[in-house]
Every structure is written in C-alpha cells, then in structure tokens.
A and B are shown apart, each in its own frame.
Chain A
Amino acid sequence: MKGLVSLFIGLFGTFAFSWLGLTLIPNFQIGHLDPQADEEGTDIYPMPQSGTAERGRRVYVANGCFYCHSEQLRPDYIASDLDRKRDVDPHPKWGERRSAPRDYIFARPVLLGKARMGPDLANIGKAAPMEEESPAPATGGSPAASPAQAPSASPAPSSAAASPAPPNAPSAAAKTAANPSPAAPASSPAPETKPGEPRPYSAAWHHRHLYSPRDVNRDSDMPAYRFLYEKRPVAGEHSADALQLTGSDAPAPGWEIVPSYDANCLVAYLMSLDQSHPLKEVKSGAPALGGSPTASPAAAKGTK
C-alpha cells in the first residue's frame, strides 16, 4: 500500500461509487413517479390507501407477514407467476400483469417480500368476491351484506351445468341472471365454498383464515393469529362480525370470537391490495379481462 492517503481515498471512493450507482442514480430514475391518470384526470392509479388500510399495513409489518408472502409478480417470460391460480378459488389468478415501480409509489414501507412460504398477495384484494369489492348499482337488489352468505336454497340451474361445485352463492346466481352468456357461469362460482362458509377471499373468509388457517385449508403452513381476536360472551344477539367457525375451533355456546380493531385493519389492508389496474408502461397479460372496464381505453392507448 503506497500510503495512508491513497488507502483512505480508495476506501471512500469505492463505497461512494456503490452508493451513487445503486441508490442515488436509481432515485433520479424512478424515485419521483406520479400516479397515472387518463386525459380527463378521472381514472387515477394508484391512489393512497385509507387510514384503516394503512394501519393494517402496520399490523402486517409488526407480525412479519412479509417474511412469507411477497407482493410482486414477475413477468411471464421469467416465471409462472401470471399463470398461477389461487388454491382455494382459482378465479381470478394471481394477477394479469407483472408489477411495476408505479404500483408502489404510496407504499411505506414497501413490502415486496423475499420468500414465498405462502402465496403472493399483490392482488389478494382483487380476488375478493364481486359484491364486496364494489356494490355496483346496476345489479340492483344485490344481496351484498355479509349475513347474505347464509346458504341459499336457490338451485341456480344455469350455472349448475357448467360447474360441479354446489352453486350456492346468491351473487353468482344474480350475476348469471344479469348476464346470461354461457361462458360467464364457468368463471364465477367458487368451487370449494360449502354452505355456511364465507366466500373465498371475502373479509369474513380472511378473518376465519387468520384465526384458524388449517380449518380453511388442511395443509396450510400458516401460523394462526389468534391473539388478534377476542373471545367474549354473547350479549343478546351474535355480533355481525363474529367469526363463523365450525368443528373444534368453534367457541362454546354463549361465546363468540370477534376480530379486534387490529384484525379489522389487517383485513382492510389485505382487501386493498390490488394491482389489476393497467399501467401504460406494462404489457397487460389479458387486457380484455384484466382491470375494470373503464380502464381499458387507457390501456389500449398506452400500448399502441
């Protein structure tokens, strides 16, 4: 070594080079992205999350969910993320397009994840059954409230032919009635839903899954998060948000399990995870199916 001065210059220089190259220059390139908007400025994506969902993000972080669940989808030429179906209800799939930097501009901390001991959650909110996502006024008389998940005796014959699953969900029947195309029923029923159980990926389903993962999926490797729930005696009627549990997990008669505030925030956060909106810079896997219909013109404009 020539001398102390050259040693110190070298030590500083090499590290400064790395700092500049791997953090500062990327910050110039993608560090100041704005939400995407269409020409009228109405269809803006992404939007900041509600306060409840943001608090839910803190719960998600505090309990280390991100050590097992990623929130990013790799492009289709690298991995099969975009072909992957969800285990409980294969519709919709993990996602229709890869994730892009713009999807995360409001995320703090950003939770891309490094391991998948559980499925990816980038679009878990999108996987929720339709009526929970947005009660569309067009369907009129939609049985959207959560008690409506009670078993329906309606045989719903139009979808029964297409799927071996018990066609029990009222909203599936309602949708089928609204859109009598023969292709539609194949994609709407949830195959594993049994009577009396919440529809997969609905808020009630998430609560039950967090409370008792192996009750929902026998082989699941997820820890139970029972400390996020309270057991309390039933005062008068059952609470509307009490968990619908069966078997050994069900509380004794006169007791009920209700989500704590943190659990409600966590589920609100999960329900807010949705990257289905098309982005101009990303090729959408299936533009006709992915995203909301109002966004499709924007996507078409972007891909030309």
Chain B
Amino acid sequence: MDATEIPLKEPAVSVAAGDTEQVERALIDASTRVPVLMFYASAIAWLLIGTVLAGFVSFKLHAPDMFSNTSFLTWGRVRPAHMNVMVYGWASMAGMGTAIWMMARLCRTTLRHPLLLVAGAWFWNIGVLLGVGGILAGDSTGYQWLEFPPYAAIVLFVAYALIISWAVLMFRFRRGEQIYITQWYLLGAFLWFPWLYAAAQLMLFVVPVQGVLQSAVGWWYANNLLFLWFGAIGLGTAYYMIPKVIGRPVYSYHLATIGFWTYALFSSWTGMQRLVDGPFPAWMITASIAATILTIIPVATVGLNHHMTMQGYFPVMHYSPTLRFTVFGAMSYTAFSLVGVLISLRSVARYVNFTQASIAYSHMGLYAFFTMVMFGSMYYIVPRLVEREWRYATLIKLHFWASAYGIGLMTLMLLAGGYVQGGSMNDASLPFLESTQSVLPYLRGRSLSGLLLATSHFIFAFHFGLMLLGLGRTSTVPTFLNPVEAEGSEGHI
C-alpha cells in the first residue's frame, strides 16, 4: 500500500481555521502541556538514573569486589534502588503522564488547574527520592517491590491522591456519553493502584500479618502492580495509539470487552505462583497457577483484536515511530504472558524457581511490554505538546533498535541462564557453587545487553531534551522513520 495516504497525524491547527475539532484538540493539548511534560521529564531523568544503577548491579554480579568498602554501594542496596527507581520513578511517571493526556483527549475536556498536577508530580519525585535515599542508607523494608521506607510511601500516596483526583475530575467533566476502551483500562488502573498500595502498606506495616503471609501479600502486590497498574495503562495506551496512528477503529468492541474483564478477573489472582513449593497452603499457589494459565484468554483476545486492527496496515510500522514501538510492546505483552504461564507450571518452576528466570519475566513485563509502549506514546504526544516535530529520524531508529535488541538479548540470556542455573541447582550431587558458576557467562551477556539499553536511553533523553528546548523541527509533517513524503519535506531535517 502507499504509505503516503495514511493520515499519520492530523495537520497542525493553524491551517484548520473553522475546524472546531482541531481547535478543541489544540486547546486540550495546551492545557496538558506543562504537567505532562513535567511527568515525562521526571520519568526520563529517573530512567537515566535507573540505567546507571542497573549497569552497576549487572557488572557487580560478576565482579563482586567492586566498592566493597562503601556501604551504600553494596550490591544488596543498589539492586532495590535500581528496581524502585525504574518502577516508581520511570515507569509510573511515564505511565501517569501518558494516562493524563489520553484521559483529557478522550474526555474531550481541557485539564483544569494544571499546576496542581505539577505539584503532584513534584511530590511524587520527592517521594521516590526519599525512598531511594532511604534504601541506599539502609532503610529498606525487606519486601520486594515495596522496599521504600514508610516515610517515602506516605509521600507517594499523598502525591498519588493529588494526581488521581485530577484525572477523575476530568472524567467527571467529560463530554459525550461514550466511554472508550482505553478509558476502562485507565479508570481501572487509577482505582486499583491506590487500593492495592494502601492494602499492601496496611497489611505489611500498619497491622502486619503473621509470618509467611507477609510474603504472600508482597507478591500479590508485586504481580498486581505489574498487571493492574502497568499492564492496564500499557494496554489502554496500545488500544489508543494503534487505531489512532493507522486511522482505523478497533476491530471488535466485543472482543475488547471480553479481553478487559477476563484480564481484570484472572490477572488479579496471579502472584502466588512466584512462591511455588514454598511454605504455604498448596491451594493458594495452585489458584494462582490456574489464574496465570487463564490469562491466556485475555492475551488471546487482546492480541487478536490488535492484530485484526493492524491487518493490512503493518507496513505503516516502517514509517511511524509510535506504531513501531507500540506494536513491539503489544507483541511483547503476548510473549511476556506466555513466558509467565510457562514458568508458573510446577514442572518448569521446579527448575527455574530461585533463578534469574524470574528477573527475565519482570523485565519482559516492565520493559519489553510497558516501557516500549510508553516510548511509543511519547513519540506521539511530545510533538503535540511542544508543537515541534522530532528532529532526527536516525536517532529514533537507533533508539528503537538498541532497545529492541537490548531487551531481546537480556531476556534470552536470563531465561537460558536461569534454566541452566536451575538445572545444576537441582542436581544435589553437584556443589552449590556450580549453579552460580554456570550462570555467570549468561550474566556477562546480560551486562552486554545493558550497554545496548543504556545507549538507547541516553539517545532518547538527548532527543527529548532537544524537543524540550524547542529545537525540534517546525513542520506540519511528522518525523517518519524512513522518507515517504516525496512532496518536499526533506529540507526540514
């Protein structure tokens, strides 16, 4: 097909005199400009910090004698610092930025009092900073994914209340009766996250549950954060971006309904499979394994729906950065879920439990799926906020390939390494050290993939910085990855 016919972006506003819809969109974008850019800029700053920490974690794992005289640089502190920076600093802030913008667009209402949202973003940043500082100073709580000390958690919660009340307020002032698919996911994420966070904080710190149940609550929280917070925002974004870029409605509304409700029902019951064969009643773990297997239903329906929407439009990925990142993310969601099913099966889990495979799983969910979708949405939204187009198509391409190869290599290394590690760990005739020795080559490979990812992040941050400084291209045509517009926009690059 001829890609030039595809409306990759609505034309700039100034030309559309009298077109009320264009003016309305421009007004909405203008009202979200400061807060959304604030969220994005913070997220990208955290992404860079998290990347540096990740490199440290990865290299120290096969060079354990680095910095052993410094308490706040010990591996066991930097690892949770990296994890929490990525989860609460990068992923959550990027997700909230995208969610606020999409919510405003879908509610067809301007964002009222955007500066209060900026205050929320500041509070959130302070909360993450306090939390990471606390972890490095030795104040970690000891619950994975919830290492932030309670004083940081409270700040985060206040910030969240500020942010979310604005999103919900927007929904209150929406125009039109229709509630779009993306809005189901966003409303779900907005309501589930505070409940989840409060419930976990309550059951771990305020009225702590006894013994092993703390672990159960911890992993229930971690998996639900992955699915009901990041997963819901990620899928909602994919449901928005894919039809928007190719200019075609979602293939089936009914499939979307089935996909959404089975997702909410089944994925919220996962989590205990990570504690497989631990000191728990077997029914808890079995229930989560069953729920994990049942997540194949939403995966299949969502995947089918996106695929049918894209049918015939796949060549557009050759040109549109947004579509390329988003489709990569949506496909990774399927891969992530299938790997999740595989490693939850008891026959596989006995090998990969306690190995690097669970790190691979987390990275597939948070990076290959969520982060890539977020990159895609930023490539779409930022030009509309700063009224400039991305400057260099080459940088976008480099960003994509470094990210895609980086996360692909990392996943392969950690999954294969995990399997090898688990195999030797389960052979009691070998010394235990054999299992850690056997995984080291894979960890070195993982460090290599980390270099690729770091490259991609610094490229993206540089490109985003140019946009913030107003150094993007002034053009009515968006930046394509490959030249399609023969009608004379080459001069802009």
Contact = CB atoms under 8 A, between A and B. Distances in A.
Contacts of A85: 428
Interface of A is mostly: loop
Contacts of B140: 61-62, 64
Interface of A: 1, 4, 7-8, 10-12, 14-15, 17-19, 21-23, 26-27, 29-33, 61-68, 70, 72, 74-75, 78-80, 83-87, 98-119, 213-214, 217, 219-228
B142 interface: yes
Shortest Cβ-Cβ A-B pairs, 6 listed: A64-B76, A62-B138, A18-B268, A109-B142, A104-B211, A83-B428
B485 interface: no
B76 A67 contact: yes
Contact of A84 (B196, B213, B280, B432): B432
B358 interface: yes
B280 A31 contact: no
Interface stretch (B106-114, B388-396, B433-441): B433-441
A114 B144 contact: yes
Given A87-B433, A219-B437, A110 B64 contact: no
B192 A227 contact: no
Given A23-B220, A79-B350, A11 B60 contact: no
A64 B79 contact: yes
A84 B434 CA distance: 12
Given A33-B211, A79-B426, A110-B214, A227 B71 contact: yes
Interface in B169-203: 179, 184, 187-188, 191-192, 195-196, 199, 203
Contact of B68 (A78, A104, A227): A227
Contact of B195 (A15, A64, A99): A15
A225 B68 contact: yes
13 contacts: A10-B261, A12-B191, A17-B268, A19-B195, A27-B210, A31-B210, A74-B277, A109-B214, A110-B214, A115-B355, A217-B433, A221-B437, A224-B65
A128 to B, nearest CB: 18
B350 A30 contact: no
B473 interface: no
B488 interface: no
Interface string B54-94: 00000011101100111100111101100000000000000
A118 B71 CA distance: 20
A114 B224 CA distance: 17
A114 B199 contact: no
Interface stretch (B29-37, B281-289, B458-466): B281-289
A114 B264 contact: no
Interface string B416-439: 000000000111100111011101
A26 B216 contact: yes
Contact of B76 (A29, A63, A100, A104): A63
B6 interface: no
A31 to B, nearest CB: 5
A4 B216 contact: no
B284 A110 contact: no
B39 interface: no
B426 A80 contact: yes
Contacts of B281: 26, 29-30
A22 B288 contact: yes
A220 B440 CA distance: 11
Contact of B64 (A18, A61, A112, A223): A223
A276 B21 CA distance: 72
Contacts of A22: 216, 220, 269, 271-272, 284, 287-288
Given A4-B179, A98-B279, A116 B184 contact: no
Given A11-B188, A15-B228, A108-B208, A72 B74 contact: no
Nearest to B261: A10
Contacts of A26: 213, 216, 280-281, 284
Contacts of B157: none
B261 A14 contact: yes
B474 interface: no
A66 to B, nearest CB: 7
B475 interface: no
A79 B350 CA distance: 6
Contact of A223 (B74, B211, B284): B74
A196 B392 CA distance: 66
A2 to B, nearest CB: 10
A33 B436 contact: no
Of B71, B281, B432, the most chain A CB neighbours within 10 A belong to B432
Given A10-B261, A111-B142, 7 more contacts: A19-B195, A63-B71, A79-B426, A87-B432, A87-B433, A110-B215, A114-B274
B266 to A, nearest CB: 9
